Structure 1
Amino acid sequence: MDVELRASDDDRHRVVAELHRHTAAGRLTLDEFSERAGAVWTARTLGDLAALTRDLPALPDPAATAGGGGDPVGQGRRELLVLFAVAALTLLLLGGFLALTR
Protein backbone atom coordinates (compact mmCIF):
# COMPACT_ATOMS: atom_id res chain seq x y z
CA MET A 1 0.00 0.00 0.00
CA ASP A 2 1.39 3.38 -0.99
CA VAL A 3 0.67 5.53 2.07
CA GLU A 4 0.90 8.71 0.02
CA LEU A 5 -2.03 7.79 -2.24
CA ARG A 6 -5.11 9.94 -1.76
CA ALA A 7 -7.92 8.27 0.20
CA SER A 8 -11.35 7.82 -1.36
CA ASP A 9 -14.73 8.03 0.35
CA ASP A 10 -14.95 4.23 0.07
CA ASP A 11 -11.65 3.98 1.97
CA ARG A 12 -13.04 6.29 4.65
CA HIS A 13 -16.30 4.31 4.96
CA ARG A 14 -14.29 1.09 5.32
CA VAL A 15 -12.19 2.55 8.15
CA VAL A 16 -15.26 3.91 9.98
CA ALA A 17 -16.88 0.45 9.72
CA GLU A 18 -13.70 -1.11 11.12
CA LEU A 19 -13.64 1.40 13.99
CA HIS A 20 -17.30 0.61 14.68
CA ARG A 21 -16.53 -3.13 14.89
CA HIS A 22 -13.65 -2.45 17.31
CA THR A 23 -15.97 -0.29 19.43
CA ALA A 24 -18.57 -3.07 19.49
CA ALA A 25 -15.81 -5.48 20.55
CA GLY A 26 -14.92 -3.18 23.47
CA ARG A 27 -11.52 -2.06 22.22
CA LEU A 28 -12.55 1.58 21.82
CA THR A 29 -14.74 3.77 24.00
CA LEU A 30 -17.48 5.82 22.39
CA ASP A 31 -15.36 8.95 22.88
CA GLU A 32 -12.37 7.29 21.18
CA PHE A 33 -14.61 6.11 18.34
CA SER A 34 -16.05 9.60 17.90
CA GLU A 35 -12.60 11.19 17.88
CA ARG A 36 -11.16 8.71 15.38
CA ALA A 37 -14.26 8.76 13.14
CA GLY A 38 -13.99 12.54 12.97
CA ALA A 39 -10.34 12.22 11.98
CA VAL A 40 -11.28 9.76 9.22
CA TRP A 41 -13.19 12.46 7.36
CA THR A 42 -10.24 14.88 7.49
CA ALA A 43 -7.69 12.25 6.41
CA ARG A 44 -6.18 12.91 3.00
CA THR A 45 -4.03 9.86 2.35
CA LEU A 46 -4.18 6.11 2.93
CA GLY A 47 -1.35 6.58 5.42
CA ASP A 48 -3.49 9.02 7.43
CA LEU A 49 -6.26 6.41 7.55
CA ALA A 50 -3.87 3.59 8.49
CA ALA A 51 -2.58 5.64 11.42
CA LEU A 52 -6.10 5.68 12.90
CA THR A 53 -6.22 1.88 13.21
CA ARG A 54 -2.51 1.11 13.67
CA ASP A 55 -2.91 0.22 17.38
CA LEU A 56 -5.88 -2.11 16.75
CA PRO A 57 -5.64 -5.80 15.82
CA ALA A 58 -6.74 -6.98 12.40
CA LEU A 59 -10.35 -8.10 12.28
CA PRO A 60 -11.68 -10.99 10.23
CA ASP A 61 -13.61 -10.02 7.13
CA PRO A 62 -17.30 -9.61 8.15
CA ALA A 63 -18.42 -11.47 5.00
CA ALA A 64 -16.24 -14.45 5.96
CA THR A 65 -17.50 -14.55 9.56
CA ALA A 66 -21.13 -14.58 8.40
CA GLY A 67 -20.60 -17.94 6.75
CA GLY A 68 -19.95 -16.33 3.39
CA GLY A 69 -23.48 -14.93 3.40
CA GLY A 70 -22.35 -11.33 3.63
CA ASP A 71 -24.55 -8.92 5.52
CA PRO A 72 -25.79 -10.38 8.85
CA VAL A 73 -28.42 -7.63 9.12
CA GLY A 74 -29.74 -8.55 5.68
CA GLN A 75 -29.81 -12.21 6.74
CA GLY A 76 -31.94 -11.29 9.77
CA ARG A 77 -34.32 -9.33 7.56
CA ARG A 78 -34.67 -12.30 5.20
CA GLU A 79 -35.43 -14.60 8.14
CA LEU A 80 -38.05 -12.15 9.42
CA LEU A 81 -39.61 -11.94 5.95
CA VAL A 82 -39.83 -15.74 5.74
CA LEU A 83 -41.39 -15.88 9.21
CA PHE A 84 -43.94 -13.25 8.18
CA ALA A 85 -44.77 -15.15 4.98
CA VAL A 86 -45.29 -18.40 6.93
CA ALA A 87 -47.55 -16.61 9.44
CA ALA A 88 -49.60 -15.02 6.64
CA LEU A 89 -49.97 -18.37 4.85
CA THR A 90 -51.04 -20.03 8.11
CA LEU A 91 -53.72 -17.38 8.65
CA LEU A 92 -55.01 -17.82 5.09
CA LEU A 93 -55.18 -21.60 5.47
CA LEU A 94 -56.89 -21.29 8.85
CA GLY A 95 -59.41 -18.83 7.40
CA GLY A 96 -60.11 -21.16 4.49
CA PHE A 97 -60.54 -24.13 6.83
CA LEU A 98 -62.96 -22.18 9.05
CA ALA A 99 -64.94 -21.07 6.00
CA LEU A 100 -65.31 -24.66 4.79
CA THR A 101 -66.33 -26.09 8.16
CA ARG A 102 -69.16 -23.62 8.84
Structure 2
Amino acid sequence: MDVELRASDDDRHRVVAELHRHTTAGRLTLDEFSERVGAVWTARTLGDLAVLTRDLPALPGAGASTPAGEHLGHGRRELLVLFAVAAVTLLLLGGFLAITR
Protein backbone atom coordinates (compact mmCIF):
# COMPACT_ATOMS: atom_id res chain seq x y z
CA MET A 1 0.00 0.00 0.00
CA ASP A 2 1.33 3.38 -1.00
CA VAL A 3 0.66 5.54 2.07
CA GLU A 4 0.82 8.73 0.01
CA LEU A 5 -2.15 7.81 -2.19
CA ARG A 6 -5.26 9.90 -1.64
CA ALA A 7 -8.02 8.15 0.33
CA SER A 8 -11.44 7.66 -1.22
CA ASP A 9 -14.81 7.77 0.51
CA ASP A 10 -14.94 3.97 0.19
CA ASP A 11 -11.62 3.77 2.06
CA ARG A 12 -13.04 5.99 4.79
CA HIS A 13 -16.24 3.93 5.07
CA ARG A 14 -14.15 0.78 5.38
CA VAL A 15 -12.10 2.24 8.24
CA VAL A 16 -15.22 3.52 10.05
CA ALA A 17 -16.76 0.05 9.79
CA GLU A 18 -13.56 -1.49 11.15
CA LEU A 19 -13.49 0.98 14.06
CA HIS A 20 -17.14 0.17 14.76
CA ARG A 21 -16.37 -3.56 14.92
CA HIS A 22 -13.50 -2.90 17.33
CA THR A 23 -15.77 -0.73 19.48
CA THR A 24 -18.42 -3.44 19.68
CA ALA A 25 -15.65 -5.90 20.61
CA GLY A 26 -14.69 -3.61 23.52
CA ARG A 27 -11.29 -2.50 22.23
CA LEU A 28 -12.32 1.15 21.91
CA THR A 29 -14.46 3.33 24.16
CA LEU A 30 -17.20 5.46 22.62
CA ASP A 31 -15.01 8.53 23.15
CA GLU A 32 -12.06 6.89 21.36
CA PHE A 33 -14.39 5.74 18.60
CA SER A 34 -15.81 9.27 18.15
CA GLU A 35 -12.34 10.82 18.05
CA ARG A 36 -11.07 8.34 15.49
CA VAL A 37 -14.16 8.63 13.29
CA GLY A 38 -13.70 12.40 13.27
CA ALA A 39 -10.11 11.87 12.17
CA VAL A 40 -11.23 9.45 9.44
CA TRP A 41 -13.27 12.15 7.72
CA THR A 42 -10.36 14.62 7.79
CA ALA A 43 -7.79 12.06 6.58
CA ARG A 44 -6.38 12.77 3.16
CA THR A 45 -4.14 9.77 2.45
CA LEU A 46 -4.21 6.02 2.99
CA GLY A 47 -1.35 6.52 5.43
CA ASP A 48 -3.51 8.89 7.51
CA LEU A 49 -6.20 6.20 7.66
CA ALA A 50 -3.72 3.45 8.53
CA VAL A 51 -2.53 5.39 11.58
CA LEU A 52 -6.07 5.26 13.01
CA THR A 53 -6.12 1.46 13.16
CA ARG A 54 -2.42 0.74 13.67
CA ASP A 55 -2.82 -0.21 17.36
CA LEU A 56 -5.77 -2.56 16.71
CA PRO A 57 -5.45 -6.26 15.84
CA ALA A 58 -6.52 -7.56 12.45
CA LEU A 59 -10.15 -8.66 12.40
CA PRO A 60 -11.04 -12.22 11.43
CA GLY A 61 -11.91 -12.35 7.76
CA ALA A 62 -10.64 -8.82 7.12
CA GLY A 63 -8.26 -10.02 4.42
CA ALA A 64 -10.69 -12.35 2.69
CA SER A 65 -11.65 -11.39 -0.82
CA THR A 66 -15.37 -11.01 -1.40
CA PRO A 67 -17.42 -9.80 -4.34
CA ALA A 68 -17.61 -6.01 -4.43
CA GLY A 69 -21.30 -5.68 -3.57
CA GLU A 70 -21.50 -8.45 -0.96
CA HIS A 71 -20.92 -6.19 2.05
CA LEU A 72 -22.74 -3.17 0.62
CA GLY A 73 -26.03 -3.70 2.47
CA HIS A 74 -24.27 -4.73 5.67
CA GLY A 75 -21.98 -1.70 5.46
CA ARG A 76 -24.93 0.66 5.12
CA ARG A 77 -26.57 -0.88 8.19
CA GLU A 78 -23.33 -0.46 10.13
CA LEU A 79 -23.11 3.14 8.99
CA LEU A 80 -26.67 3.81 10.17
CA VAL A 81 -25.85 2.25 13.55
CA LEU A 82 -22.71 4.37 13.69
CA PHE A 83 -24.65 7.56 13.05
CA ALA A 84 -27.26 6.55 15.63
CA VAL A 85 -24.52 5.98 18.24
CA ALA A 86 -22.92 9.32 17.36
CA ALA A 87 -26.28 11.13 17.61
CA VAL A 88 -27.06 9.59 21.00
CA THR A 89 -23.56 10.48 22.22
CA LEU A 90 -24.04 14.09 21.14
CA LEU A 91 -27.47 14.27 22.78
CA LEU A 92 -26.10 12.89 26.04
CA LEU A 93 -23.17 15.28 25.94
CA GLY A 94 -25.51 18.20 25.25
CA GLY A 95 -27.77 17.18 28.12
CA PHE A 96 -24.80 16.85 30.45
CA LEU A 97 -23.51 20.29 29.49
CA ALA A 98 -26.96 21.83 29.95
CA ILE A 99 -27.28 20.33 33.44
CA THR A 100 -23.80 21.35 34.59
CA ARG A 101 -24.08 25.01 33.54
For this structure pair, what is the TM-score category when the shorter chain's length is used for normalisation?
0.5 to 0.7
Displacement of 1:61: 2.6
Partner of 1:48: 48
Q: Which amino acid aligns with 2:35?
A: E
Please identify runs of 4+ aligned residues in structure 1 that moved more than 2 A: none
1:60-99 equivalent positions in 2, closer than 5 A: 60-61=60-61
Q: Which amino acid aligns with 1:30?
A: L
Q: Which amino acid aligns with 1:28?
A: L
Higher RCO (CA-CA < 8 Å; seq separation 6+): 2
Identity %: 87
**Whole-angstrom CA distance in 2 between matches of 1:21 and 1:27:** 9
Q: What 5-or-longer segments of structure 2 have no aligned partner? A: 65-69, 75-101
Is 1:18 matched with 2:18? yes
- Count of residue pairs brought into register by the alignment: 67
What TM-score, normalized by structure 2, do the two folds share? Answer: 0.61
What TM-score, normalized by structure 1, do the two folds share? Answer: 0.61
Displacement of 1:22: 0.1
Q: Which amino acid aligns with 2:34?
A: S
Q: Which amino acid aligns with 1:33?
A: F
Q: Deviations over 1:39-87 (max 9, x none)?
A: 000000000000000000000237x7xxxxx66x87xxxxxxxxxxxxx
The RMSD of aligned alpha carbons is 1.9
Is 1:31 matched with 2:50? no
Q: What 5-or-longer segments of structure 1 have no aligned partner? A: 65-69, 75-102
**Whole-angstrom CA distance in 2 between matches of 1:30 and 1:61:** 24
Larger Rg: 1
**Whole-angstrom CA distance in 1 between matches of 2:34 and 2:20:** 10
Q: Deviations over 1:6-38 (max 9, x none)?
A: 000000000000000000000000000000000
